[in-house]
């Protein structure tokens, strides 16, 4: 799963990306189009359950296995972030290498839209005016790009052999609904399409269908003062510059700094967790002396398919899953104790995995 970071030039995208990766990978520069080719980085999903599980395993199996520590590895779930170059007004018509940048956005599953909400005379605005205007400029360019796709597809619909004849009329109606909404300045995601219609237009890969997190990049003083802005559920307020500085501190130093600011989570952690949730993802856990690990699956995944994320043989030869919730496992003090108390459930092929399930799969190949 990939999340693309977009916005006008000089709004703090690359600074945010650098902080996400906890190292200076992207070129953060005070001029437009400092990023041309997208930078890509894989980021750990914050999950305090892993550390607690690792401690549990250490106690249950002993601190060491010969020369090796127990557990040998702790592996978190990850999300891939893509730093995409700044869009400008007219991008849908090719301004500022717009077509190239828009094509990069089509390849991601969700979007982080960084919006400038700070004043700094040393950072060129490059088309940025105010948060609402900046938001509208980007949305307008994405809408215009989607309209171009719809116009092209509508003209060739009857010639598309991939669409069965019985579905041609349904797809045409769906395209018309989308076209009407986009021409009104509405996003494709706001159109009430049925599941069947969504499937028929899925191949269009419309930009405004993608889930969006709005990140308001504020000043350090706004964060320090605890200033709040009116934002929706899928919005986060952070200071990219501060997050970049935080990323260079040790874990303990970060916690102390956040405490001083009166914050429980860094803005970055909020973005990562929100992105994970926005993509409809959840985590199941495995815990043993070799490794404690978080595995990423889509919500609604059945046990055999979850097993397949570990190894295809696990899915092919799936017999059953031994499952306990993370909370119950921690409360009882370990896998052996949970088994002795009869708390481990045996689940079959129809079991739908839950976030935080701790699992051992039984299989035969």
Q: What is the pLDDT of residues 214-228, one digit of tens each?
A: 999 888 777 765 544
Instruction: In whole angstroms, give the CA distance from residue 131 to residue 55.
Output: 45
Name the residue among 253, 256, 264, 262 with its Cα closest to residue 223. Answer: 262
Does 74 show up as a binding residue in the annotation?
no
Does 11 show up as a binding residue in the annotation?
yes
Q: What's the confidence (pLDDT) of residue 124? A: 64
Q: Is the pLDDT of residue 315 over 60?
A: yes
Does 336 show up as a binding residue in the annotation?
no
Q: What's the confidence (pLDDT) of residue 24? A: 40
What are the structure tokens assigned to 213, written together?
């997190």
Q: Is the pLDDT of residue 232 over 70?
A: no
Average pLDDT score over the chain: 82
Does 14 show up as a binding residue in the annotation?
yes
How much is the pTM?
0.79
Residues in the chain: 365
Q: What's the confidence (pLDDT) of residue 255? A: 84
Does 362 show up as a binding residue in the annotation?
no
Does 15 show up as a binding residue in the annotation?
yes
C-alpha separations of 6 from 44, 115, 209, 343 in Å: 20, 9, 15, 46
For the domain made up of 300-363, give the CATH fold.
Ubiquitin-like (UB roll) (3.10.20)
Q: What's the confidence (pLDDT) of residue 303? A: 97
């Amino acid at each position: 799963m990939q999340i693309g970071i977009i916005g006008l030039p000089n709004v703090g995208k690359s600074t945010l990306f650098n902080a996400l990766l906890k190292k200076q990978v992207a070129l953060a520069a005070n001029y437009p189009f400092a990023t041309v080719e997208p930078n890509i980085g894989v980021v750990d999903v914050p999950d305090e359950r892993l550390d607690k599980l690792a401690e549990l395993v250490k106690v249950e199996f002993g601190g060491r296995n010969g020369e090796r520590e127990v557990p040998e590895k702790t592996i978190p779930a990850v999300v891939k972030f893509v730093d995409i170059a700044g869009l400008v007004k007219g991008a849908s018509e090719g301004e500022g290498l717009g077509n190239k940048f828009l094509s990069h956005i089509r390849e991601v599953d969700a979007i982080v839209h960084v919006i400038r909400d700070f004043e700094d005379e040393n950072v060129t605005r490059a088309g940025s005016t105010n948060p609402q205007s900046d938001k509208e400029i980007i949305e307008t360019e994405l809408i215009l790009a989607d309209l171009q796709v719809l116009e092209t597809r509508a003209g060739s619909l009857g010639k598309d052999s991939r669409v069965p004849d019985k579905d041609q009329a349904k797809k045409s109606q769906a395209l018309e609904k989308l076209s009407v909404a986009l021409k009104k300045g509405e996003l494709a995601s706001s159109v009430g399409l049925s599941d069947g219609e969504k499937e028929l237009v899925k191949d269009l890969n419309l930009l405004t269908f993608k889930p969006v997190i709005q990140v308001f990049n504020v000043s350090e003083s706004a964060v320090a003062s605890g200033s709040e802005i009116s934002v929706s559920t899928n919005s986060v307020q952070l200071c990219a510059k501060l997050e970049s500085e935080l990323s260079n501190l040790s874990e303990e130093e970060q916690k102390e700094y956040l405490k001083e600011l009166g914050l429980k989570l860094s803005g970055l952690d909020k973005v990562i967790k929100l992105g994970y949730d926005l993509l409809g993802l959840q985590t199941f856990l495995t815990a043993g002396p070799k490794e404690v690990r978080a595995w990423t699956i889509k919500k609604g995944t059945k046990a055999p398919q979850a097993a397949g994320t570990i190894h295809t043989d696990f899915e092919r030869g799936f017999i059953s899953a031994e499952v306990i919730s993370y909370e119950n496992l921690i409360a009882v003090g370990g896998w052996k104790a949970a088994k002795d108390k009869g708390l481990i459930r045996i689940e079959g092929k129809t079991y739908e995995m839950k976030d935080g399930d701790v699992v051992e799969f039984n299989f035969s190949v």
